[in-house]
Chains A and B, each alone.
Chain A
Amino acid sequence: MKWLELFSVAGTTLVSALTVVVLYSLGVRLTAIAGDTRSPAPSWTRPLAYTCFAVCAAAILFGLYLIIPYFHHK
């Protein structure tokens, strides 16, 4: 039985999905803080938010790389 594969799939899914969601949530949160009108936010929040989104975009691109065999079968 392929228990090892099963566990590695479960583990990989957990770690990568959590990473993406945490980063994206942080991005959303930081954008919200940066957009606050009542209390001025620190200036680093907006760049940091964009960094979070960028890392997520990179994760999606990595997913594309995995989907398309053309990139890694030659």
Chain B
Amino acid sequence: MVALVISLALFFDFTNGFHDTANAMATPIATGAIKPKTAVALAAVLNLVGAFLSTEVAKTVSGGIIKEGADGVQITPDIIFAGLMGAILWNMITWLKGLPSSSSHALFGGLIGAAIAGIGIHSINFESILQKVILPAVFAPIIAGGVAYLCTRLAYALTSRHDPETGDKLTQKRGGFRTGQVFTSSLVALAHGTNDAQKTMGIITLVLISAGTQAAGSGPQWWVITACALAIAIGTYAGGWRIIRTMGSGLTEVKPAQGFSAETSTATAILASSNLGFALSTTQVASGSVIGSGMGRRGTTVRWGTAGRIALGWLFTLPAAGIVGALTALLVQTGVIGVVIAAMAGTAAVAYMFVRSRKSHVGHHNAVQIEEVGQAVQFRKKKSAAKAIKNGGVQR
């Protein structure tokens, strides 16, 4: 059981990696600041480095959402197994749909569902959920979007050049932003590595402690750190091209100055939140930034249809992962056979989604030039939106 949970946790780390490549690298890929393959390689390396950098003990992931301790309940490997199952399946579904959704929320949702089904409703701390999950989900996009909007407006205002006599537009020479993007997006990738690899380390350590193979209160062992760092780096390199497409060209057209503003907002928001103790989801911050920067540049339209689908995805993350987690927890409770059935069903579902994804392949070669290629089979809304933009005339 312990080995099963650890491998499942590492797989979750992998999905987390490729789900979140888009947060850092979607905008530089969209503007051509970094070549797609180079971008994911850079993100992978930075994630790897980031996972090793953070020496802080990976804290309990549930972070008070499930009541623990003397008067609380004991989290068993079974519950964690069920929670991970919910999180992985939801990550795969949103990836198939190309939706950037928060991996941490999927994990929380899965654990909450598993705890309700396996232990009971009293094991959940609802105030903690409101404070740690729901409020940040509302405010992260608003803060990041607002800041990115202002930044984009300012960036364009400061660099717009007109001939003083005739009032004609001069060459704008905004190429410098493209170089800047390399650094800002790297910062986002590094911040992601320090945050997200920690979650999986925390889970595996929790499992090892609860199984009695590791002393309580000790930090993650070196092989756990290495395995988690590698899993998230490989996942990042595998690249969630579908999500990159949504973030890079599905929400709005991204130009270098916009991309720079969006990434700066994302990086500062993540840094500020992780240092001031109000955790925000990387994914939600990044999506908000992209939308905000889209609103900030004149002549750009934000595809609210896509934005709405993303928001809907966020709304469903917690309950959907929770339901899968709960079902798995019920199965696992029936004994060894239940565990086997759950593991088989999970593997089958992941394999099915992988096969589905093959049918409409999205890779580094077509992640963002999709409008020219015209392959947007599942994205009809985007096509019509693209037409609207072409008709409206794009101003640079």
Contact = CB atoms under 8 A, between A and B. Distances in A.
A21 B44 CA distance: 26
A28 B174 contact: yes
Instruction: Give the 8 A-B residue pairs with the shortest CB-CB distance, closest first.
Output: A32-B173, A25-B158, A28-B176, A5-B278, A21-B151, A12-B272, A17-B268, A13-B269
Size bin of chain B's contact surface: 35 or more
Contacts of A21: 151, 154-155, 260-261, 264
Nearest to B153: A21
B173 A70 contact: no
A63 B180 contact: no
A20 B264 contact: yes
A36 B276 CA distance: 44
A41 to B, nearest CB: 12
B55 A25 contact: no
B56 A17 contact: no
B272 A28 contact: no
Size bin of chain A's contact surface: 35 or more
B272 A16 contact: yes
B265 A17 contact: yes
Contacts of A17: 147-148, 151, 261, 264-265, 268-269
Interface of A: 1-2, 5-6, 8-10, 12-14, 16-18, 20-22, 24-29, 31-32, 35, 56-57, 60, 63-64, 66-70, 73
Given A63-B271, A69-B55, A32 B172 contact: yes
Nearest to B173: A32
A6 B135 contact: yes
A18 B276 contact: no
Contacts of B55: 69-70, 73
A68 B260 contact: no
A60 B147 contact: no
Contact of B143 (A5, A10, A25, A67): A10
Contact of A5 (B264, B271, B277): B277
B150 interface: yes
Given A32-B172, A60-B187, A70-B53, A24 B260 contact: yes
A10 to B, nearest CB: 5
Interface in B238-296: 257, 260-261, 264-265, 267-269, 271-273, 275-278, 280
Nearest to A36: B170
B190 interface: yes
B10 to A, nearest CB: 23
Contact of B176 (A14, A16, A27, A64): A27
Contact of B159 (A2, A8, A28, A66): A28
A22 B264 CA distance: 11
Given A28-B173, A70-B55, A64 B278 contact: no
B158 to A, nearest CB: 4
Contacts of B56: 69, 73
B218 to A, nearest CB: 18
Given A9-B143, A17-B264, A22-B154, A56 B272 contact: no
B53 A12 contact: no
Contact of A13 (B53, B144, B173): B144
B261 A66 contact: no
Interface in B362-383: none
Contacts of A56: 180
Most A C-beta atoms less than 10 A away, residue of B53, B139, B176: B176
B207 to A, nearest CB: 24
Given A21-B261, A67-B194, 7 more contacts: A9-B269, A14-B143, A14-B146, A17-B261, A24-B260, A28-B159, A69-B53
